[in-house]
Structure 1
Amino acid sequence: MGLIRLAALGVLGFVGYKYMEKSKNNGRAAFANDHPVDDNFAQVRDAGPEAMGDKPRREWTAADQASDESFPASDPPSTY
């Protein structure tokens, strides 16, 4: 009986592992899933909501776009 439980637990673990491997996102958290990711140390995504990992919860404005395009610059855009 213990051997059957051990085998069932092993099968359950294997199925869970395969499910997690299949659903794993190989990209970075800030990048969209279809955004190319290279091995460069400076990971910078393109500007705009289509390049974001999570879509914006509200309407994307011109100020949002200007701020996104200016990052990581030290000076804020003039649309504020």
Structure 2
Amino acid sequence: MLKLIALGALGYVGYRYYQNNFAHHGRAAFADGQGADGATHQVRNSGPEAMRDKPVRSWDKTDEAADESFPASDPPATY
């Protein structure tokens, strides 16, 4: 019984450590301060500065235009 209690305590401590150090808080794909609490439709601003995870490479005009047009069905005229 003691082994089970110790294992549960160790699991809880590990879970809290993960939550505090590695888990992303907030909304997926939103930078801090993006999106309105309680809104039925969550929309983030365009551009890499509005993203939670920074892009691996720098953006060009095509990347900016595609992000600005999302979720529209028509592509931007800059292609």
- On whether the aligned pair clears a TM of 0.5, the verdict is yes
- Pair 1:59 & 2:58 matched: yes
Inter-partner Cα distance in structure 1 for 2:40 and 2:18: 27
Aligned residue-pair number: 77
Q: What's the counterpart of residue 34 of structure 2?
A: 36
By how many angstroms is 1:42 displaced? Answer: 0.9
Call closer, same or farther: CA 1:26–1:59 in 2, change over 3 Å: closer
Structure 1 segments, 4+ long, off by >3 Å, are none
Inter-partner Cα distance in structure 1 for 2:73 and 2:5: 58
By how many angstroms is 1:46 displaced? Answer: 0.6
Call closer, same or farther: CA 1:54–1:21 in 2, change over 3 Å: closer
- CA deviation string 1:21-74 (max 9, x = no partner): 424433221112x13342212111110001112222222011111111111222
The TM-score, its normalising length taken from structure 2, stands at: 0.75
The TM-score, its normalising length taken from structure 1, stands at: 0.74
RMSD between superposed Cα atoms in Å: 2.0
Q: Which ranges in structure 2 are unaligned for 5 or more consecutive residues?
A: none
Q: Which ranges in structure 1 are unaligned for 5 or more consecutive residues?
A: none
